[in-house]
Chains A and B, each alone.
Chain A
Amino acid sequence: MNYLNIFLNEVFKISLLLIPILVSVAIIVWFDRRVWGFVQKRKGPNVVGPFGLLQTLADALKYIFKEIIIPASANKIVFILAPIITMTLALSAWAVIPISEKLFVADINVGILYIFAISSLGVYGIIMGGWASNSKYPFLGAIRSAAQMVSYEVSIGIIIINVLLCVGSLNLKDIVLAQKNLWFVIPLFPMFIIFFISALAETNRPPFDLPEAEAELVAGYQTEYSGMMYAMFWLGEYANILLMCALGSILFLGGWLSPIDIYPFNIIPGPFWMILKILILFFMFALIKAIVPRYRYDQLMRLGWKVFLPFSLLYVVLTASFLIYFDLLPNTGIQ
């Protein structure tokens, strides 16, 4: 009986997190297309519902009622598994994201490592989809995306080390609370920029959307997918983008903390600030999609390995020496 209680409680908490995320993914897709439209002096989706807000819902309905076509020569189990893995991983990473000081599903000691591990697993959905389609364009897209995601994970990992040096804990709550006086975006500004660009590459967003470059590879690893399975890939992709925005706001923009700790600002509840920061970061994502042309593949690799990696390593050394010289090292847990 006791176990059942715990189980039901957890299911309730999880659904309380997942349903808002799925709804906000729908809204964010609309927002993305709207911003894209406005940059190009178009209107964007504005027909279904007020301001076109229900456009995504209509699209989702269309996907659900379409037939799922599985190619005859595809590896069926892996082909079906790939979108499921993508979406599950994208949603399960949200478990440790603290929306406010008390609003989260799990508060684990190694939260940042958990997110890093889950996002590094995300590459499997793409590789499996590309390989199982048994077709050339998806395969090329999958190979490209695997190389891209692995290389940009390295630079994201080193950027996270920079932040962790200033915090002294792997817990996401501690990371936010350590920014009470100063958001890390100020001392670590170059790292914030590199994190942002790496997040674009990690989520396969333009200008780094080479895995699905439509001019070269039709739609990359998604070419053979149709109906609900395509929608799941697409949902997982946007959930990942939102996750990266949330991670950026936790690591650098002070999570749920208000910008200034004075009267009219500090009575506004934490989730408002968190969502505002995520939205601002996503707005940047959407703008960049509209205004930057796509990278060439060798330029992408060069940027990851020859520019970001050495620079963020150098910054780790700088941060560590600065902290030691001015005796600012956080001493949690060190005897």
Chain B
Amino acid sequence: MIAHAIFFYFFSVIAILSAIMVVVSRNTVHAVFFLILDFVSIGCLFIMVGAEFLGMMMLIVYVGAVAVLFLFVVMIMNVSEQKLSWLRGSKKSNHIPVGLVISIVILLELIIVVGGWKYKGDFLNTRSFNLDGGITNTHQLGNVMYTEYIHLFQISGIILLLSMIGAIVLTYRKREGVKRQNYFEQISREREDSVELMDVNFKEGVKIDD
């Protein structure tokens, strides 16, 4: 039990510290690295409470895919200097009120969630699920998600698909003058289509292009 507690505090301290560093660090790329560290330590906390499937999903989805895209954007757009100028030119910064509003909303939501879970025991009624101790985490999640909550599950999938299509539509533009290569045309060229033998008259030459 002591080892368990030590590991719990180890991971949670790392999680909290790196979450603070995400906000504080000056270089944006470093901020993303701290975000990754945060994700990893939260994944470890999930594994510690026995939710190994969620922990691994945290690693695969957030660290393996989402954070890579963050890093991609931050590195390509070179916003690390931009953040510095934001921090220094704090005289006329108008994003602090917006940030305050958002963080107050999140705090209220957290209070509601934690309060509901602490003071109303039947808030999360787990009776309706068939929670059987003998089967693994993954099977249990599957049993609940594909039976009780199948409609919500499908709807969230459709929302994700729609947002993906929306992002593609927003960024898609048809470019003019791009030379596209077509595999099948390139491979299926025959000798007759591309090579032509000509009799060249002296001092007249051949017109190749028209």
**A residues lining the B interface (CB < 8 Å):** 3, 78, 108-110, 113-114, 116-118, 120-121, 123-124, 127-128, 131, 139, 143, 146-147, 150, 153, 157, 169-170, 332-335
Contacts of B71 in A (CB 8 A): 127, 146
Assuming the contacts A3-B3, A170-B138, A333-B136, asked whether A113 and B63 have C-beta atoms less than 8 A apart, the reply is no
Which of A108, A114, A117, A147 is within 8 Å of B64, CB to CB?
Answer: A117
17 further A-B pairs in the complex, CB-CB below 8 A; given A113-B56, A120-B59, A169-B136 = A110-B56, A113-B57, A117-B56, A117-B59, A118-B59, A120-B63, A121-B59, A127-B75, A131-B75, A143-B75, A146-B71, A150-B64, A150-B65, A170-B138, A333-B135, A334-B143, A335-B143
Using a Cβ cutoff of 8 Å, how many contacts connect chains A and B? 70
A123 to B33, CA, bound (A): 13
Contact of A120 among B3, B52, B64, B69 (CB under 8 A): B64
Q: How far, in angstroms, from A117 to B58 measured CA to CA in the complex?
A: 9
Q: Which partner residue on chain B sits nearest A147 by CB separation?
A: B72
The answer to whether B136 touches A124, judged by C-beta atoms less than 8 angstroms apart, is no
Residues from 59 to 100 in B contacting A, C-beta threshold 8 Å:
59-60, 63-65, 68-69, 71-72, 75-76
State the 8 A-B residue pairs at the shortest beta-carbon distance, nearest first.
A120-B64, A333-B139, A117-B59, A333-B135, A113-B56, A117-B60, A109-B136, A110-B52
Contact between B138 and A110 (Cβ–Cβ < 8 Å)? Answer: yes
Q: Is the CB of A127 within 8 A of B136?
A: no
Could you tell me the distance between the alpha carbons of A170 and B59 in the complex, rounded to whole angstroms?
16
B25 at the interface (CB under 8 A from A): no
Interface of B with A (CB < 8 Å)? 3, 29, 33, 36, 52-53, 56-57, 59-60, 63-65, 68-69, 71-72, 75-76, 130, 132, 135-139, 143
Q: Are B64 and A143 in contact (CB under 8 A)?
A: no
B75 / chain A contacts, CB cutoff of 8 Å = 127, 131, 139, 143
Shortest distance from the beta carbon of A146 to any chain B beta carbon, whole Å: 6
**Contacting residues, chain A, for B136 (C-beta < 8 A):** 109, 169-170, 333
A153 to B132, CA, bound (A): 33
Name the A residues within 8 Å of B3 (CB-CB). 3
Which residues of chain B are near A109, meaning CB under 8 Å?
52, 136-138
B64 touches A113 (CB 8 A): no
Do A116 and B139 touch (CB < 8 A)? no
Q: How near does chain A come to B3, taking the closest CB pair, in angstroms?
A: 6
> What is the minimal beta-carbon distance from B148 to any residue of chain A, in angstroms?
14
CA distance A140 to B170 in the complex (A): 26
Chain B residues near A153 (CB-CB < 8 A): 64-65
**What's the minimum C-beta distance from B171 to chain A, rounded to whole angstroms?**
16
Given contacts A109-B52, A117-B56, contact A78 B33 (CB under 8 A): yes
Do B29 and A335 touch across chains, with their CB atoms under 8 A apart?
no
When distances are taken between beta carbons in the complex, the residues of chain B under 8 Å from A110 are: 52-53, 56, 137-138
Q: B68 contacts which chain A residues (CB < 8 A)?
A: 123-124, 127, 146, 150
Q: Is the CB of A124 within 8 A of B59?
A: no
Interface centre among B3, B56, B136 (most CB of A within 10 A): B56
Tell me the complex Cα distance, A116–B53, Å. 12
A333 to B53, CA, bound (A): 15
Interface residue from B57, B60, B76 paired with A143 (Cβ < 8 Å): B76
Residues of B within 8 A of A169 (CB): 136
User: Are the C-beta atoms of B60 and A120 separated by less than 8 Å?
Assistant: yes
How far, in angstroms, from A157 to B56 measured CA to CA in the complex? 13
CB pair A335–B60 under 8 Å, yes or no, is no
Could you give 25 example pairs across A and B, Cβ below 8 Å?
Answer: A78-B33, A109-B52, A113-B60, A116-B56, A117-B63, A120-B59, A120-B60, A120-B65, A121-B59, A121-B63, A121-B64, A124-B68, A127-B75, A131-B29, A139-B75, A143-B72, A143-B75, A146-B72, A147-B72, A153-B65, A169-B136, A170-B138, A333-B135, A334-B143, A335-B143
